[in-house]
Amino acid sequence: FYNKLFFLSILNSILGHAPRIVWHYDSSGVQAKKYYGSMYEPILFCVKDKENYTFNTEEILVEAKTGATRKLIDYRKDPPQVYNYEKVPGNVWEFPRVRYRMEEYENHPTQKPIALLDRIIKASSNVGDLVLDPFSGTFTTCFVAKESGRNSIGIELQEEYVKIGLRRLKLAKEYKGEKLKKEIRSFETRKIAAVQNLKLFEESDGTFIHS
């Protein structure tokens, strides 16, 4: 807890810290017995200048499920108008976790959904902008950036995830003589890979992928 507060204080001293976003998902993945299961992850929304930053509301509108769907009239307007059918999302986002056997699943224990990154990137960058992901994992950020017309730089320590990034971004069909193809592994194999990734983070320099 105190480490998180220290981290936030550093961010506040460098960047303007806007309200936190909560990514709420449908399952914790672990059936807790002696504590409440975790069903969310925090997302920090920080800007350099609170008076001047990119926020593309038209790119991220969602359905307004209240007045618009019931065709209610807003009599505060002159003339009165039907409530909008779309609105800017609140700061609690509902996206399912990426699970084994999903089409977008890429053998990573903390892989983020494409839809989640799509909202973040479209809201906070413009076509042609450069998006940086210093902890790329399976390069979902770079994948979404490319699909939405942005450029990207991805940094990843573990070679097996770099290979996934090369394949997903269609930058290479082979790596060191090995054909790049999607593989599905067991949970135990994925857990071992996560431990190896942590060890590499402590010992090695990063590898960059630029798309």
**Class in CATH terms, 98-211:** alpha beta
Among 97, 108, 101, residue whose Cα is nearest residue 190: 108
In angstroms, the CA 192 to CA 67 distance is: 50
pLDDT, one tens digit per residue, over 121-153 is 999 999 999 999 999 999 999 999 999 999 999
Domain spans, the chain: 1-53, 60-89, 98-211
Ranges 42-51, 143-152, 202-211, most confident: 143-152
Report if pTM > 0.85.
no
**156 to each of 3, 23, 199, 203, how far by Cα in Å?**
24, 23, 13, 13
The per-residue pLDDT for 185 is: 59
Q: Band of the pLDDT at 63, cuts 50, 70, 90?
A: confident
The per-residue pLDDT for 4 is: 64
pLDDT, one tens digit per residue, over 66-83 is 765 667 777 788 888 877
Name the more confident of 67 and 90: 90
Q: Band of the pLDDT at 62, cuts 50, 70, 90?
A: very high
**If you search the block for the tokens 């959904």, which residue do you land on?**
113
CA angle at 24 for the pair 194 and 110, rounded to the nearest 5°? 10
